[in-house]
């Protein structure tokens, strides 16, 4: 038992607990939010549905981009033991259709982590900062006052009904969070334009091999047989591999377990391999929420779409989202005003840090749902690795006419998709520029959304994709 697991907060009645902030979910964003709030001297509790022993065990690809850039609320020294492979420095993109392997530079510091050890480390970090933890606690409803302000959550903890009351509730409950289903957010700016089709279904196994793999310094990607899906092989060590795959929920369902097994059987390096752990999950492959605040309520991490929609990466962004939400919440509590307008700065900080980039990357995710997988692989095989890396991680590339012509010479027969990709890049640039002008208050929000929606119509017309939102 962690020291904070025994804490109960201030009790109003036998079934009510009072805190300054309630955080739902003990993942990356939840732990960083709680640690930031506790460090500021406020009472905060994380309610987590898993047991204490299982908390931190989350389905993840284990690849960490930006491994050297984390908020200070949880000391980085606590995370370092979970970074089991810090020698990865590039991506390896396998394209069987073209009998090609692309070596792709990846900007920033990379690492592959043991996600369970990392999960335990951030829980310990939040605990040491002073956050309380209530495990075995299943949230079932959201409490709101007559004005619509979220004032807490209702839950069952080890069979006991409890109500958690607070000034602010932070939703860190992951993709397709139940809190957003239960709360009435129609009168707030909070993004309710959320649908399962904007998410990915993913599955991964931790696989042990007897002989070291040759690509232990790379993140290996491989397309599935359909568009909008890929397999990954991320080396935790040279003999322990995170192997997984996922597909867009707009597509026909894949047989994730069987399809992964088939690919493992076809790879010589996995002969005789043993599976150590297996887990599945849903994750957002969409733009960040337009707004992730409502009176007394904020969403962070997967619960707010804070994931790179082309790669599924989201650990570092979730950590910073947790910090930004917590700092904004603390300021609002000190002001005695937890209104939407007084929480708005959180939206601005997310968009300024990574939200605009992820919105641009979403344009390429939309393109991937509308093109033939063989044509797309042909284009990727012709595209220089550094330009592909820019598209995957920055949301834009410096593709110009010269590069377009050079690429065309290498990819006879793919002219139409090359042109589409080039026009899509222009759309992505327009989206990024617009998100960089994110409004500084809710007053200008409707006008900003209207202009963004006009830009999205250009995206759909250019890519030929069905509307995503």
pLDDT in tens, 155-181: 999 999 999 999 999 999 999 999 999
From the CB of residue 77, how many other CB atoms can be counted at a distance below 10 Å?
Answer: 9
Residue 410 — pLDDT band, cuts 50, 70, 90? low
Asked if residue 418 and residue 348 are part of one domain, the reply reads no
Residue 100 — pLDDT band, cuts 50, 70, 90? confident
3-state secondary structure the chain: CCHHHHCCCEECCCCEEEEEEEEECCCHHHHHHHHHHHHCCCCEEEECCCCCCCCCCCCCCCEEECCCCCCCCCCHHHHHHHEEECCCCEEEEEEHHHCEEEEEECCCCEEEECHHHHHHHHHHHHHHHCCEEECCEEEEEEEECCCCCEEEEEEEECCEEEEEEEEEEEECCCCCCHHHHHCCCCCCCCCCCCCHHHEEEEEEEEEECCCCCCCCCEEEEEECCCCCEEEEEEECCCCEEEEEEEEECCCCCCCHHHHHHHHHHCCHHHCCCEEEEEEEEEEECCCCCCCCEECCEEECHHHHCCCCCCCCCCHHHHHHHHHHHHHHHHHHHHHCCCCHHHHHHHHHHHHHHHHHHHHHHHHHHHHHCCCCHHHHHHHHHHCCHHHHHHHHHHCCCCCCHHHHHHHHHHCCCCHHHHHHHHHHHHHHHHHHHHHCCCCCCHHHHHHHHHHHHHHHHHHHHHHCCCCCC
Report whether pLDDT(385) > 70.
no
Q: Residue 71 domain-assigned?
A: no
Asked if residue 348 and residue 238 are part of one domain, the reply reads no
Q: Residue 52 domain-assigned?
A: yes
On the CB side of 424, CA atoms within 13 Å amount to 23
Q: Residue 228 domain-assigned?
A: yes
Asked if residue 293 and residue 275 are part of one domain, the reply reads no
From the CB of residue 161, how many other CB atoms can be counted at a distance below 10 Å?
Answer: 10
Predicted confidence at residue 383, as pLDDT, reads 64
Asked if residue 163 and residue 103 are part of one domain, the reply reads no
Instruction: List the CATH number of the domain containing 158.
Output: 3.50.50.60
13 or 279, higher pLDDT: 279
For the chain, the domain total comes to 3
Predicted confidence at residue 212, as pLDDT, reads 98
Report whether pLDDT(6) > 50.
no
Report whether pLDDT(244) > 80.
yes
Predicted confidence at residue 401, as pLDDT, reads 47
Q: Residue 80 domain-assigned?
A: no
Q: Convert the pLDDT of each residue in 202-224 to its tens digit.
A: 999 999 999 999 999 999 999 88
Contacts of 14 (CB under 8 A, 6+ apart): none
Asked if residue 317 and residue 423 are part of one domain, the reply reads no
Report whether pLDDT(371) > 90.
no
**Smallest Cα–Cα separation from 383: which of 40, 98, 43?**
98
Q: Is 244 in contact with 231 (CB distance < 8 Å)? A: yes
Euclidean distance between CA atoms 305 and 171, whole angstroms: 12
Residue 105 — pLDDT band, cuts 50, 70, 90? confident
422 or 83, higher pLDDT: 83
Q: Tell me which of 15-24, 62-71, 116-125 is least confident.
A: 62-71
- Exposed e or buried b for every residue in 325-338, given b needs 16+ CB within 10 A? bbbbbbbbbeeeeb
Q: Residue 396 domain-assigned?
A: yes
Quote the domain boundaries for residue 442. 358-463
Q: Tell me which of 5-19, 20-34, 56-70, 78-92 is least confident.
A: 5-19
Asked if residue 234 and residue 223 are part of one domain, the reply reads yes
Instruction: List the CATH number of the domain containing 224.
Output: 3.30.9.10
Asked if residue 209 and residue 151 are part of one domain, the reply reads no
Asked if residue 166 and residue 40 are part of one domain, the reply reads yes
Residue that is last in its domain, among 262, 284, 306:
284
Predicted confidence at residue 98, as pLDDT, reads 80
Asked if residue 209 and residue 185 are part of one domain, the reply reads no
- What is the mean predicted confidence (pLDDT) over 57-63? 92
Q: How many residues does the chain have?
A: 469
Predicted confidence at residue 328, as pLDDT, reads 98
Residue that is last in its domain, among 238, 261, 284:
284
Asked if residue 134 and residue 40 are part of one domain, the reply reads yes
Q: Tell me which of 288-297, 351-360, 416-425, 439-448 is least confident.
A: 416-425
Q: Residue 81 domain-assigned?
A: no
Q: Residue 123 domain-assigned?
A: yes
Predicted confidence at residue 382, as pLDDT, reads 66
Predicted confidence at residue 392, as pLDDT, reads 63
Mean pLDDT of the chain: 90
Contacts of 387 (CB under 8 A, 6+ apart): 397, 398, 399, 403
Asked if residue 165 and residue 31 are part of one domain, the reply reads yes
Residue 1 — pLDDT band, cuts 50, 70, 90? very low
Predicted confidence at residue 95, as pLDDT, reads 86
- With pLDDT > 70 as the criterion, what percentage of the chain qualifies? 89
- What is the mean predicted confidence (pLDDT) over 124-142? 98
Predicted confidence at residue 384, as pLDDT, reads 62
Q: Residue 176 domain-assigned?
A: yes
Asked if residue 459 and residue 377 are part of one domain, the reply reads yes
- What is the mean predicted confidence (pLDDT) over 192-197? 95
Residue that is last in its domain, among 318, 335, 356:
356
């Amino acid at each position: 038992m962690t020291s904070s697991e025994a804490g109960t907060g201030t009790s109003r009645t036998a079934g009510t607990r009072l805190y300054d902030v309630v955080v739902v979910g003990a993942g990356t964003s939840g732990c960083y939010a709680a640690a930031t709030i506790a460090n500021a001297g406020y009472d905060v509790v994380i309610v987590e549905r898993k047991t204490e022993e299982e908390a931190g065990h989350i389905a993840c690809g284990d690849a960490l981009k930006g491994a050297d850039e984390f908020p200070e609320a949880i000391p980085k020294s606590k995370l370092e033991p979970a970074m089991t492979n810090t020698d990865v420095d590039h991506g390896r993109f396998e394209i069987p259709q073209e009998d090609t392997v692309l070596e792709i530079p990846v900007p920033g510091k990379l690492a592959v982590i043991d996600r369970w050890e990392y999960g335990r480390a951030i829980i310990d970090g939040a605990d040491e900062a002073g956050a309380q933890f209530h495990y075995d606690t299943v949230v079932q409803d959201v409490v709101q006052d007559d004005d619509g302000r979220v004032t807490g959550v209702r839950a069952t903890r080890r069979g006991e009904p409890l109500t958690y009351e607070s000034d602010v509730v932070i939703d860190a409950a992951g993709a397709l969070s139940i809190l957003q289903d239960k709360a009435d957010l129609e009168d707030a700016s909070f993004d309710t334009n959320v649908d399962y089709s904007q998410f990915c279904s993913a599955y991964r196994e931790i696989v042990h091999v007897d002989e070291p793999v040759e690509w232990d310094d790379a993140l290996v990607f491989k397309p599935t047989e359909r568009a909008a899906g890929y397999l990954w092989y991320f080396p935790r060590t040279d003999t322990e591999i995170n192997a997984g795959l996922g597909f867009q929920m707009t597509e026909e369902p894949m047989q994730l377990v069987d399809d992964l097994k088939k690919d493992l059987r076809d790879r010589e390096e996995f002969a005789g391999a043993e599976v150590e752990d297996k887990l599945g999950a849903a994750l957002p492959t969409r733009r960040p929420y337009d707004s992730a605040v409502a009176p007394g309520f904020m969403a962070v991490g997967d619960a707010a779409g804070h994931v790179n929609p082309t790669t599924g990466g989201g650990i570092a962004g979730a950590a910073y989202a947790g910090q930004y939400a917590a700092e904004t919440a603390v300021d609002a509590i000190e002001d005695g005003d937890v209104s939407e307008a007084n929480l708005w700065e959180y939206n601005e900080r997310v968009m300024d840090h990574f939200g605009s980039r992820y919105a641009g990357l979403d344009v390429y995710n939309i393109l991937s749902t509308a093109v033939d997988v063989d044509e797309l692989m042909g284009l990727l095989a012709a595209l220089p690795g550094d330009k592909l890396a820019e598209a995957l991680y920055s949301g834009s590339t410096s593709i110009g006419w010269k590069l377009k012509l050079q690429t065309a010479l290498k990819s006879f027969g793919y002219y139409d998709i090359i042109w589409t990709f080039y026009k899509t890049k222009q759309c992505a640039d327009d989206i990024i520029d617009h998100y960089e002008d994110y409004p500084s208050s809710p007053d200008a929000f409707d006008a900003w959304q209207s202009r963004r929606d006009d830009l999205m119509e250009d995206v759909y017309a250019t890519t030929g994709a069905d509307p995503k939102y």
